Structures are given as structure tokens and as C-alpha cells.
Structure 1
Amino acid sequence: MTATDRVDLRLLVPALVAWAATVGALGVPVPVRVGCALACLLLGGVVLVVRSPAHRPVARHPAALHDDARPPAARGSAGPGEGSWRSGVAAVLGLSCLTSAACLLASATHDTRSRVGGVVELAEQRTSVTGTAVVLGEPVLVRGHGSEEPAVMLRVRLTQTTVRGQVRRLHAPVDVRSSDPTWRDLRWHDEIRVAGTLAPGRPHEPTVAVLRPRGPPEVGPRGPLLAAADHMRSRLREATDHLPADARGLVPALVIGDTSVTPPDLTDDMLVTGMSHLSAVSGSNVAIVLAAVLGACRLAGCPRRARPWVAALALAWFVVLARPEPSVVRAATMGLVALLGMSASRRGAGAPALSAAVVVLLLLDPWLARSYGFALSTLATLGLLLFVRPWSRAINARLPRRLHVVGPAVAIPVAAHLACAPVVVLLQGSVSTVSVLANLVAAPLVAPTTVAGVLTALVALLSPSLASWPAWLAGLPALGIARVARVSADVPGGAVDWPDGTRGALLLAGLTVIGLLAAPYLGHRARAAPVLACCVVLVLASAAVPRRVLVDVPDDWVMAACDVGQGDALVLATGPGRAVLVDVGPDPAAVDSCLSRLGVRRLDAVVLTHLHADHVGGLTGALDERPTQRLLVSPVRDPEDADREVRAEARRRGIAVSEVVAGDRLSIGPVTGSVWWPARRITEGSVPNNASLVLRLRIGAVDVLLLGDIEREAGHAILLALRREPVMSAEAADVDVLKVAHHGSANVDEDLMAAVAAPDALISVGADNDYGHPAPPLLALLAHTGTRVWRTDVDGLLVVVPDGDGAAVGSLP
């Protein structure tokens, strides 16, 4: 790296410190935040004042009085030699304190403002209110389980409520959940009037309450700017409606952030291959649009001083068009920073601009500090600032001049991928071996898709039929992007399993830093001994799979989680050819195949944690040709039709049905333990899910905890029981394997998850499911506790075997 390639990262330190302070402050009481902010403000002020020249000690030696008359070379060299680095450190420390103070005060202000009007107290009392609100994001459809109706979820900001005739002014972000389909028609920044009941919100979330509305909302008129953006969005969708499905989904996604028609399987393939940033508005799209606008200004002869203003107006309109939700605003900011930092004439402005962007975004929305998207955007931008220019120059040095476009084309995706990899592994639990190549192939297709898509949107304002021609110009490269994602997702070994959690992320980050530092030396040695280099690469590749992948079912297995799709089927070994089956999944054929693979010919008991179809639908497949002694069920008979069917099937086969509740003890061969839940019927949330049987069992020497499908309400009740009962508390602290509740849903009690943390966690979940399971917040929670995550959708059949005093988990794809 040459001197001109070096980036001054000193200003990034205050931004990162402020970011860390904000992460730690969220959820902390406001007075504590304010006190910490004042302490940081005082410390920063003292450091900066002491650092200033007016407050430095003056030498008392008489010669110092004549120092100014001496030549510069002979003057006190202690200034630059000894004091300059101290002065720099003091400046960074002072700025870190001041930026942290600003972000702490901003988070306290946001929290206080969101609670004005007593909305939290109203939610705790489950008060019925009427009021006005502003929609903050696009509605999301959440499918129900079993007999439950699909629900619409969206986030709004309550601006005014009327409670018992009293009008209150609010600024409260709340989540809305309704089964009324009219809520799906709402758009960003719609002003609505709504009546409903407030309930407490989730802890450690930006919302302060949940609103369950009564009936549809009353929607106010749209402003002219928003109406124009809506018109342009609808015209673009109309112009691309004739394109193939993949292009019809990707073009609006890249141009206006509309992912509503993107095929779900394409979204999954792009996520697996590390191309998800190409399926929505990202910083790269913003940079492409700005570069295109500036290029058009230059071709049109626009005065140089006017070009930034034109670009700013274009950026503002692009943000409004794509809906200025936090993800879009973040992408716009980071795209602008990346374009500024990589430009030839503004090289030194990149790092300071990134630092300022991080702090400003945190001041505007402190909850971005805990956003994985924010972390990915920041790291990707930092990677571009650090590596694109020197790597491009190194690549182009070996190419003829006419191919110098190859340097940036290769450097940009590689730099972004390496910078983001430690965070990506937290979300996916694996390292993609095809991501760099896939992004490298797809990167040249992004710019034509985006630019032609914007052109299509402009032409569509005049005539959607005329816009069908430029729509194909956008659609063809979009089809190429989709093809790259689909082919890459099918590559065998395309994702290498990696240790989950913070340890895995730190390990990957450490290896990345070591690789970057050693790259020049290794490159030199590889050129000197190419055969040896190839052998080393092969050995490292063979050792890169830290998980245990089994060839066949081990003889000493004690527990297995069957891959039955979106459902649960857990098998607990009780002897040769015998087992206890906990839930049977949704499909008879799938559970039958799994039991046959495990060699289970007899069931000592079948336990149905609750009566949703994804847990009882496969009952006949489990019972056919397998003698079964008894059936254990939850006392809550909801849904009633499923309860009747289960009991009728058991009666037809002569199987005794028993209900078990919290406090009951179980002893079935080597399987012993207790029932933790249900202790009572919970009416909040999903009644069947919160009535799930929760079992704390010991199978030989392995301790497991099976959480069924419980949600936050039942989880909190169990947590309170843990605090009251010393025996339960001791059992919770000694769990080897945890079966995560509800297929990895985010609707869990976080304190309970921390209390029952285990070395390994199993998630029974179906690939391509409609619920977004397992949810990223849940995976992040498990990562925070250092738990290794095993998923049936990724790893297949999961098998638990004894391992010393604990357990080991392996997978059978």
C-alpha cells in the first residue's frame, strides 16, 4: 500500500466508541444514560482543554526564552518527537468522549420522547384507546399456525390518543397486529385514525407497546409528494409486469426497494450465496444512481458547482421513492460515503465522512446501533475505503490498460465480502465458499439493472406500454443476477459450517486479519513454490469443517431431531429399536422415514406438546406398524377439531391417552425427568403454543430441555417459576442440549433463553418456510450466549450422542 493509498482512520475511533456506548445504553434507565453522558462530556472537555497549547506547561529554563530565535531544526524537538502522538491520542480520546456523550443523550431523548403521554402505563393497564398515527413501514403478512388466521404486522407512531375523554399528545412507536386484511393496504407515512387496545411491548425493542386494533383504520389523504412517489412505483410495477418472475421481482427491488413480488425461493438462494444485498435497495444502488446522475450532468454541460445540488435532489427523490425507512436511509448514507471515498479527487474524505455518517445516523435513530443491517453497511463501506484502491492498482498492474476496469470489478465484491463476513456468520452460522465468486459474476449486472430500471420508471410516467422496452433492458441483467444466485445455491459444499456465535465471528475476523497481513508474504512464497502452495490450500480446505458430519446413525445415539419440514419430531432412545417420540411433524411419510432410518420399531410413548398441525399432522405415519403404549398430551384442547382427531385415532388403535401438567414426573426406561409447563392456561398470544408441554429430561447421561412452541408469555411464566423453585433453577443450569421453541421464532422471553442457555441448541425448522424462521434476533440471542446452533433445514437429521459428562451433536444430511 503506497502513501497515497493510506486512509486516516483516527476519526473512526470516536465513531466506533460512540456506537459501542449506544449499544450498551439501549435498555438502560434514562437517568443512568444521562449521568454517563455528563461524565463523558466532562471527561472529554477536560482532555481537550488540557491538550490545547494554551494549557501545556512552559519550560522554566532561560534558554527556552530564546527558543523562538533559534533555527527551526534546532528548536525543541520534543514537540513533534514526544508530544505529537500524545496530542493525537488526547484528541481521539476527547472526541470519543464527546461523541459518546452526544449519542447517549440522543438515546435518552428518543426514549423519553417515546414515553411522553404515559403510553407505557396505558399499555401495562391494557387500556382501550382511540387516536391518530403515522405508518412507519410497509405491512408484513404473518401466516398463522393451525387454525389461526393470518395476521398483518406493521409499525406506526402514535401521535395522539384519547383515553376516557382525555386527549394526549404522543410520539410513541408501537407495533400493530391485526387479522383484518384492510391493514395490508396501508403505505409508508399514511396518516390513520385507529381504535384498539394497548398491550406491553417486547423488552429491548424500539417500540414501547403493542396495539391490537378494533376494526379497520381510517386513512387520511396523501400529500402530493408521496402521491407522486406512489404513482411512480405503481407505474414501474406495471411496466415490469410482463417480465419473467425473477426479473419481475428483482427490478422493482433494486430500483424502489419493493420486494413484494420477489419469488421466495430466489430470496433464499440470494441469502445463502451472500447476494441478499442485490435483492433490495443497498448502498451500491445509491452509488450507482448518484454516479449516473453526475455523469448525465457532465454530458449535459451542467456547471460544476450545480452538480452536487442536482445529485442531492436526485438522492432525496430516490429515498422518497424507495420509502425512507431506516434501511433505505442507511443505504443512501453509506452509498454516498462510498462514492465520495472512492472518487479520485476526494480520497481523504472517505473515512471522516464514514465516521460522521455513523454518528449522525446513531443520533437520528439510536436503535440502529443494534441493527445487523447497519453493521453490514458500515463494514462494507469501510472495506471499500480501505481496500478497493490498492487492490485495484495491484490487479491492474498485471493487466493491459484496456482491461483496467477489471481491477475495481474484482476488488469491490471481495473487499465488501471480507469486511462483512464476521457479521454474516453470526446470522447464518456458515461461511459461503461461493459468495465472492457469485458477487464477482453478478456485480457487473447490477449497474445496468439499476440504471435501466430508473429509466423504466421515468418512461413509465409517460406510458407504461412504452416503458416495456427499457424494462427488458433492466430485466435481462436481472435475470442474469437471479441465475447466478440459483446456480451458486446448488453448488455442493457452497456453504461451510462454522462455529456459531461470537466465538465464530471473532475467529473468522481474526483469520481474515491474519490473512490480509500475511497475503504479501504468502503470495511471494506461492510464486516461488506453487506445488507446495496448492497442497497447503487443499489441507486447509479439508480442515475447514468444524461440525461433526456423520456417515450413518451412531449406535450410541440418545436423541434425534428429524428433518420433517416446518414442524417438530424429536426421538428419544429407550433401547434397541425402541424410543419415545415427542411430536410427529406435519407429514406422516416424513416422520415414518425418519423413524425407519433410526431403526425405531416400537414406541414406548408418543408425546404431543400441543395440537397444531405441524406437531400432530404426521401421527398416522408414526403409529403405523409400530406398537405404541401410550399417548401424552397437553391439558389444553385447542384447536378442538385437532384434539378430536387425535383422540379418535388413539381410541381406534387402543392407545391410552393421558394429560400431563407442570410438576408431573416422567420415567420411561432411561428417559426420566419432569414437566415444567403448562401450569395454567394463558390467553395472551397463541393459546395452543403457550399450552405446549415443556419437558426437562435426562436420557442416560445427557440432559435436554424441550421448549415445544411456547411464546413470550409462557416463557416469562416459566422464568418466574425458575426464580421461585430452586430445583428447577438447578435443572436449568445443567442443560446439555436445548430444543429451541417454535422453530426459532423471535417471540421468546430473552431472560428465559439466557437462564436455560446450553452448549448446543436444536432448531426444527423447514427450508423456505413462510415465517422467516429461524428469526435473526433469535439467532443473535443464541450467539450472545455462545450456543452452537443446529438446524434441520440446513443440517438435516440431527443426532445427539453422549460425550463425556455432556453431549455432542452431529448431522446426517
Structure 2
Amino acid sequence: MPLLAAAAWLAGLAAQLLPLPALAAVAVVATAGAAAVVVRRRDLATTVAAVALVAAAVGCSAAVRVEQTRAGPVADLARERAVVTVTGTVVADPRPVEGRFADRVLTRLEVREVTGRGASTRLRTRVLVLGDDPWADVRLGSTVRAGGRLDTADGPDLAGVLIAGDPQVLAGPGPWWRGADEVRASIRDAVEHRPPAQAALVPALVTGDDQLLDAEVEEDFRTTGLTHLLAVSGTNLTLVVGFLLVVARWCGIRGRGMYVVGALGILGFVLLARTEPSVLRAAVMGSVALLALGVHAWQRGFRALGVAVVVLLLVQPGLATSPGFALSVLATAGILVLAPVWRDAMARWLPRWVAEAVAVPLAAQIACTPVVAALSGEVSLVAVAANLVVAPAVGPATVLGLAGGLLGLLWDPAGRLLGTGAGWCVGWIVAVADRGADAPTAAVDWGTGPAALAALTVLCLVLALVLRRVLARAVTALAVVAVLAVVVLVRPPTPGWPAGDWVVAMCDVGQGDALALRAGPGEAVVVDAGPEPGAVDRCLDDLGVDRVPLVVLSHFHADHVDGLAGVLDGRPVGAVEGTSVLDPVGGVADARATAAAAGLPVRTATYATTRRVGDVTLQALWPRPGAGAIAAGGPEGESANDGSVVLLAEVRGVRVLLTGDLEPPGQAALARALPGLRVDVLKLPHHGSRYQDLPFLASLGARVVLVSVGADNGYGHPAEEVLDPLADAGAQVLRTDEDGDVLVGVTDGGVETRTRR
């Protein structure tokens, strides 16, 4: 069965990534390879025939589906950007997303009829819907009709993208979907009274409902290898169905009745978590885990894994190219193949339950590491420890969250009581993710090129072979753990960092701003604090900044002020200043509360006043007096960017313009007020957004342009059409998503830069 699974997977990949002649060649090679590994001659013909049959079935199914999607009527209309009317069924929960000009709603629609270019066609294909607020109220399973303009889609499973008008609901969801919605809503209600991170994580843990998760929490989970807890996985199903089986046994159910309970539990889980390909994959992998329990677990589990892969690829051949599918299969295979061997080795000197608790996450992590590195570009060094530490809380959190949702349907106080318990459990998980992500070397950068990934794959295979001997003896195992702990907890020194001649530092804090102007030995003026405390705190520690005579918050958006606690942590701070535009109100309140906890008020930066702070000369060029009234003129947060404090600084002869998130109207006003302004270093406004006054920025003549921006952000920052003209004018453009932390120093010839990933 594993051999058939490999043949099915290879055929699915080939059908979607290669032309037909290459697909045929791959099928021949796969068949020959299958024959080569068969040991018993009497099985040769059967094995070759089975491999060829499975590969042909999956390959043809995948090729047909790709052709239907790419060459069907909807795809043709999408290429013509036609205005159409579609009728179909909503197959994904609507999800609000932030747009550049307005918030939109994303969902998926299985189109049953499309009318466009004067013709109507009945069919069955999926499109991504991008709509306005009314789409947020459309429930999964509803039948709707909507008009809009089609455009092409990138995903291989999508025939197009529908920029849709308001939907007309023709029929509501069926009773099963309505019941699942009630349970999901009840789970959210059961933890609504808990802190935001807990209230968001419990639904994600139980049903994969991650709409309320904060980006910072997601990043911490990604760094610590806990991302699988935020999505529907086989672990979710194993815990939920396992809980139901225990309850059934308490109720006296035995024999075949247990299989019925298990089947009903799997069906209920799929309805709760939605019938998307990722959920079906998780359900099948969780079922494999359940089958792997008991006698002959290894043989039964590995055979079941092979069957699961073949069946999934026959039903959903698109999974062959899904990273989530690869991670599920590899993690399950690692647990089935490696974990028992390592558990038995460690059981010689550890209690068996402890050995198993260590072996399972270690096996899953080793098996998945090459794929995770290909997706993220980094390798987590704390993943095994983090998964081990949170493991005791995952089961109770999942069970209590589900039980709280079910009881909440009958009696709300009981649901909230169990929800409180679930919140306590996930509070521990959030704390572990937060502390683990803050470790100096929680993860190491790893290339995503073929050579780097091949080297990592070989390394993982070597570890899989040698770890049994290492783990069999307490001395060698504990020595490896000690070395890993030192590597994780002690940041390795970076030669030449920080440079003794640095004057400006741009900290890599993700999607946000945090800069430091050197005011003297161990001192710096800090401008903005980034989106979370840990990143800016680490950056200032690495710069040797022990005292901060002044913090300036350019404006009160979270990506500039939420890290303020990290600047204040363990450092004397002289003053905190901000813009006169008190927008958004929540950001203002949070910044004031953080500063007040350190005994500091948030004063308003004085317009046009020149002052000296150590080696730094500062002048606030913007906003002008009276700009605070702007905040009352529109929705909360709308006026914040153009109310940014703009600072002109000079440090040891280097002129620096720090612009916050100033928008083109503010930039144009500065250009009119300060004709002929020239600087050496420019902090590019608004993370390199495409909306800039390029003539003004180019006129500054900056030799170095700093772009503080997060990798893979959803805003399209920075825009190449902004960076390229500045680079063509002779500026050196440095960006935190590619270059990491950046230093600007003084030389005899002017300025020089250094970077550190």
C-alpha cells in the first residue's frame, strides 16, 4: 500500500505540473521503479499492474479536472473579463479581509449555472468570490445568485475570481449545516469572556475556526512549530473522536457499537470543521491514527496510511500539490515509523509515557522539516520542545472547548464554565508560543533553493538513522539536549555588530516600524516600536542600548506602538512623545496605558522646534498645529497615517528623514513647505506602499533608503514601482524583509550600511 500511495502521489503531481508526454514517461518510470523494489518474484506482475492502474487512475483524474477547470466555460469567460450572472452553492465560510481602500469578503462558490455573453451553461466548477459586506451574512451551504465580473484565478482548483455584487439567497443551508453553525457559534460564545488570544484560539483548536486570531499569535505559533494547532488536523479528529469513544465506553457501548460511535464522530467533526479538502484530509489522517492504536499498530497503521493516500488522491487529485497534504502524510508516516523505535530506545532510561511524549513530536518534526523549510525559509529549533510542553494542554483544551459549545446550547452558564477551563488551557499554549518565539535563536533561516532543501533532506534522513542510538543512552541524549538549549537560548555573536560608527538602526520587527538614532554610548532615541515588544527589545539589546532619553511614536497604529513595552523593558526612558492626531482611539489608549505603567505620560511632539538629545539633533516637520481635528472627520484610523510625526534628524553629520506612514497629501504639503530639502537617509513612508509622492521623495537625494516591512505581508508592500525609481536615481534601498536589521554608519566618504539576518 505505501508503494501504491507513492505511485498515486507521483502521478497526481505529474498530471498537474507536466505536459501529457512527460506524464506518460513518469508513469513508465514509476512502473519500472515498482518492479525494481519487489523482492518476491510471484508478486511482480500483481505489483506492476497495481502500480500502473493506480497511477493511471489518479493521473487521468487529475488531468481531466485540471482541463475542466482551465478550459471550461467559466474559465473562458474569466479570460474575457466578462460580466456574468452565476447561481451556485456557498462552499466556504465567508471571511472578511482588509482591502487597500475598503474591507471585502472572501468566500468560495460552487457554480451550477453561469450566464454570460448571451448564453447560459449548466456545469459544476468553483470560483473565488470577492464581495462586499452583504456576503458576510451568507451562510455556508446556501444557494445564491449573484452578478459580477469574472477574472482569472491563480489556483489550479479555481475556474475564476468573481468580483461580485450583492447576493440573492435562493435557499438557505440544510439542517446539518445549520446545526453545525449553532455548535460553532456556541463554542465562540463559551469563551467570549476570556482574553482575546484565548477566545480566538479555542475555536481554532476545536474546529479550525481561526477568523479571530491575531497576526502576532499566528507568527509566534509559526516560529515555534505549533501552527498545526491553528488549523484542522488529524490531531483534532483523534482528540474529538477519542473523547466520544471514551464517553461511549462509560455508557456501556461495546463491540460494533463503538465503530458506529466513531463513524458518527468523524461525520460530526467534518460538519463542524467544514467539508473542504483540508478537512477531509485531516479526517482521513485522524482515522489512520485511530486505526494505529492497539495490537499490530505499526503494520495496521502504515497500511491504512497507504490506503488513505490513494483514496484521497482518487477523490481529490488536487491534493497532490497541496503542502498541507504533504505535511499530514509525512507527519503521520514519521509517527508510525520513527516514533515507536525512538520511544523504545528512550524507554530504557525514561518512563515509557515520557518517552512516547518526546518521540511523537520529534518524529513528526523530523519528517516535516524539509517541507516546512521550503514553505517558510526557516527551521524551528524550539518546535519539539514547544510541542512537548503544550501537549498536556491540547487534549483538555479541545475536549473542554467542544463540551462547552455543546452544553452551551442547553445552558449558557455551563458552557461558559467549561469555556473558562478551555481558556486556561490555551492560555498556557499561547504563553509557550510567546516565550518560545522570543528565544534568541528560536528558528534559523534556511534557503528555499534546491541545493539547500536537498541538504536539509539528507540531514533529516541522517538524523532519522542515527537518533535511535543517540536516544538509547541518557548521557548522549541529555548532552544533545544541553547543546540544543545553549544554541536556542544564547544568540551567537555577529562579528562587527553593532558597528562602532553606527548612527541609524532600522530593526527588523516584521510589518511595522522601529528605528533608533544613536545619541551616545549605550543611548538611542527610538522612533516607533513595532507591532510587538519582543522584536524591538531584542534589537535594542543587540545594539547595546541601555538608556532611551526619548521615544517618539509617529502615530498610533498598532504596527508602530504595540511594541512600546519592549522599549521600556529594563531601560530608563526619559520621555515618550507622539502625534497630535489622536487616532485611532484604541491605539492611543493602549500607548498611554503602557507608558503610564512606566510612570510616563505621552506628550505631544512640538512642531518645528529644534532640540538636541545627546548626539542627535531633532526637528518635527509634521503635523502642523491644529491637525488633531482631522481625527474627527472620518472613520477611526483613517486620519492616522497623514497625522504621522515626521522628524528631520542629524547624527554626526548624517541627515535623516523619518516619515512614519505619511501619505501623498502630507508629502506634497512638506514639499511645498520645504523646497530644496536634502537628506542622506530616508525612511520610506508607509512601508513602501505604492501610494507615494515620488517626485518629492526623489528630490530628497537620499543615498540610503530604508524600508521597514514584513515578509509575505498581505498589503503588497513594498511596491517595486516605488523602489525602482529611487534605486535608479542612485539610492541604496535596504528592506527588513530581505536584509533583516540594518545599520547606517559614518565613513570618511559619507555613509555606509551593514545588514544582519
What TM-score comes out, normalization by structure 1 length? Answer: 0.65
Equivalence for 1:775: none
Whether 1:143 and 2:98 are equivalent positions in the alignment is yes
Cα deviations by residue, 1:284-306 (Å, 9 ceiling, x for unpaired):
12112222233333333324123
Q: How is 1:469-484 mapped onto 2 (pairs within 5 angstroms)?
A: 469-484=417-432
Cα deviations by residue, 1:632-673 (Å, 9 ceiling, x for unpaired):
xxxxxxx9x94443222112111389xxxxxxxxxx99xxxx
Contact 2:470 2:477 in 1 (8 A): no
* Aligned with residue 231 of structure 1, among 153, 176, 182: 182
When the two chains are superposed, the root-mean-square deviation of aligned CA atoms in Å is 5.2
Total equivalences in the alignment: 629
Equivalence for 2:140: 188
Residue 562 of structure 1 and its aligned partner are, at CA, apart by 6.5
Structure 2 unpaired stretches of 5+: 516-529, 531-551, 562-576, 578-611, 619-637, 681-687, 722-732, 747-751
Equivalence for 1:468: 416
Alpha-carbon separation, structure 2, partners of 1:251 and 1:542: 29
What is the letter of the counterpart of residue 741 of structure 2?
G
Cα deviations by residue, 1:766-796 (Å, 9 ceiling, x for unpaired):
xxxxxxxxxxxxxxxxxxxxxxx54xxxx43
Cα deviations by residue, 1:11-65 (Å, 9 ceiling, x for unpaired):
323323432332343255xxx44x66667778888999x99xxxxxxxxxxxxxx
Equivalence for 2:498: 552
What is the letter of the counterpart of residue 645 of structure 1?
G
Cα deviations by residue, 1:164-190 (Å, 9 ceiling, x for unpaired):
553211222222223x21222233333
Residue 442 of structure 1 and its aligned partner are, at CA, apart by 0.8
Which secondary structure does the structure 1 equivalent of 2:232 belong to?
coil
Equivalence for 2:668: 647
Residue 132 of structure 1 and its aligned partner are, at CA, apart by 0.8
Q: How is 1:344-355 mapped onto 2 (pairs within 5 angstroms)?
A: 344-355=295-306
Cα deviations by residue, 1:235-255 (Å, 9 ceiling, x for unpaired):
222222223333322222222
Contact 1:342 1:389 in 2 (8 A): no
Alpha-carbon separation, structure 2, partners of 1:613 and 1:24: 51
* Aligned with residue 77 of structure 2, among 119, 122, 138: 122
CA 1:130–1:305 in structure 2 vs 1: closer, same or farther (change >3 Å)? same
CA 1:467–1:566 in structure 2 vs 1: closer, same or farther (change >3 Å)? closer
Whether 1:620 and 2:620 are equivalent positions in the alignment is no
Equivalence for 2:406: 458
* Aligned with residue 113 of structure 1, among 68, 71, 81: 68
Alpha-carbon separation, structure 2, partners of 1:13 and 1:538: 36
Equivalence for 1:256: 207
CA 1:159–1:267 in structure 2 vs 1: closer, same or farther (change >3 Å)? same
Alpha-carbon separation, structure 2, partners of 1:544 and 1:232: 46
Which secondary structure does the structure 2 equivalent of 1:176 belong to?
strand
Residue 216 of structure 1 and its aligned partner are, at CA, apart by 4.2
Residue 386 of structure 1 and its aligned partner are, at CA, apart by 0.8
What is the letter of the counterpart of residue 133 of structure 1?
G
Contact 1:384 1:412 in 2 (8 A): yes
Q: How is 1:78-93 mapped onto 2 (pairs within 5 angstroms)?
A: 84-85=39-40
Residue 129 of structure 1 and its aligned partner are, at CA, apart by 0.8
Contact 1:498 1:547 in 2 (8 A): no
Residue 564 of structure 1 and its aligned partner are, at CA, apart by 7.7
Equivalence for 1:281: 232
What is the letter of the counterpart of residue 128 of structure 1?
V
Equivalence for 1:16: 6
Contact 1:297 1:307 in 2 (8 A): yes
What is the letter of the counterpart of residue 140 of structure 2?
W
Equivalence for 2:452: 504
Equivalence for 1:407: 355
Whether 1:371 and 2:371 are equivalent positions in the alignment is no
Which secondary structure does the structure 1 equivalent of 2:211 belong to?
coil
Equivalence for 2:192: 241
Whether 1:421 and 2:421 are equivalent positions in the alignment is no
Alpha-carbon separation, structure 1, partners of 2:123 and 2:337: 44
Alpha-carbon separation, structure 2, partners of 1:99 and 1:705: 56
Whether 1:489 and 2:437 are equivalent positions in the alignment is yes
* Aligned with residue 161 of structure 1, among 93, 109, 114: 114
CA 1:544–1:525 in structure 2 vs 1: closer, same or farther (change >3 Å)? farther
CA 1:100–1:652 in structure 2 vs 1: closer, same or farther (change >3 Å)? same
CA 1:345–1:86 in structure 2 vs 1: closer, same or farther (change >3 Å)? closer
* Aligned with residue 272 of structure 2, among 321, 336, 343: 321
* Aligned with residue 519 of structure 1, among 467, 486, 508: 467
Alpha-carbon separation, structure 1, partners of 2:220 and 2:346: 30
Equivalence for 1:26: 16
Residue 84 of structure 1 and its aligned partner are, at CA, apart by 3.8
Alpha-carbon separation, structure 2, partners of 1:705 and 1:421: 36
CA 1:456–1:295 in structure 2 vs 1: closer, same or farther (change >3 Å)? same
What is the letter of the counterpart of residue 511 of structure 2?
Q
Equivalence for 2:149: 197
Residue 554 of structure 1 and its aligned partner are, at CA, apart by 8.6
Equivalence for 2:522: none
Cα deviations by residue, 1:591-643 (Å, 9 ceiling, x for unpaired):
9x9xx99x9999xxxxxxxxx99999879335789999999xxxxxxx9x944
Alpha-carbon separation, structure 1, partners of 2:393 and 2:218: 17
Whether 1:796 and 2:748 are equivalent positions in the alignment is no
Cα deviations by residue, 1:47-102 (Å, 9 ceiling, x for unpaired):
99x99xxxxxxxxxxxxxxxxxxxxxxxxxxxxxx994556677655544333222
What is the letter of the counterpart of residue 184 of structure 1?
A
CA 1:44–1:445 in structure 2 vs 1: closer, same or farther (change >3 Å)? closer
Which secondary structure does the structure 2 equivalent of 1:466 belong to?
helix
CA 1:622–1:747 in structure 2 vs 1: closer, same or farther (change >3 Å)? closer
Alpha-carbon separation, structure 2, partners of 1:210 and 1:646: 36
Cα deviations by residue, 1:83-123 (Å, 9 ceiling, x for unpaired):
94556677655544333222211112212333575222211
Identity %: 34
Q: How is 1:534-545 mapped onto 2 (pairs within 5 angstroms)?
A: 537=483, 541=487
CA 1:625–1:386 in structure 2 vs 1: closer, same or farther (change >3 Å)? closer
CA 1:121–1:240 in structure 2 vs 1: closer, same or farther (change >3 Å)? same
CA 1:535–1:627 in structure 2 vs 1: closer, same or farther (change >3 Å)? closer
CA 1:688–1:217 in structure 2 vs 1: closer, same or farther (change >3 Å)? farther
Cα deviations by residue, 1:293-333 (Å, 9 ceiling, x for unpaired):
33333333324123222211110111101112222211111
What is the letter of the counterpart of residue 313 of structure 2?
L
Cα deviations by residue, 1:507-542 (Å, 9 ceiling, x for unpaired):
333222222322355467984999xx6799489949
Q: Which stretch shifts more, 273-282 or 241-250?
A: 241-250
CA 1:464–1:116 in structure 2 vs 1: closer, same or farther (change >3 Å)? farther
Contact 1:256 1:322 in 2 (8 A): yes
Contact 1:549 1:811 in 2 (8 A): no
Contact 1:800 1:810 in 2 (8 A): no
Cα deviations by residue, 1:363-409 (Å, 9 ceiling, x for unpaired):
2223322222112111110111012223333333434xxx5432322
Which secondary structure does the structure 1 equivalent of 2:88 belong to?
strand
What TM-score comes out, normalization by structure 2 length? Answer: 0.69
Alpha-carbon separation, structure 1, partners of 2:41 and 2:470: 36
Contact 1:123 1:198 in 2 (8 A): yes
Contact 2:386 2:436 in 1 (8 A): yes
CA 1:26–1:176 in structure 2 vs 1: closer, same or farther (change >3 Å)? same
Alpha-carbon separation, structure 1, partners of 2:346 and 2:691: 57
Alpha-carbon separation, structure 1, partners of 2:135 and 2:336: 43
Which secondary structure does the structure 1 equivalent of 2:210 belong to?
coil
Cα deviations by residue, 1:704-725 (Å, 9 ceiling, x for unpaired):
999999xxxxxxxxxxxxxxxx
Contact 2:689 2:718 in 1 (8 A): no
Residue 456 of structure 1 and its aligned partner are, at CA, apart by 2.0
Which secondary structure does the structure 1 equivalent of 2:264 belong to?
helix
Contact 2:200 2:210 in 1 (8 A): yes
Alpha-carbon separation, structure 2, partners of 1:529 and 1:642: 56
Which secondary structure does the structure 1 equivalent of 2:647 belong to?
helix
Which secondary structure does the structure 2 equivalent of 1:182 belong to?
helix
Contact 2:7 2:55 in 1 (8 A): yes
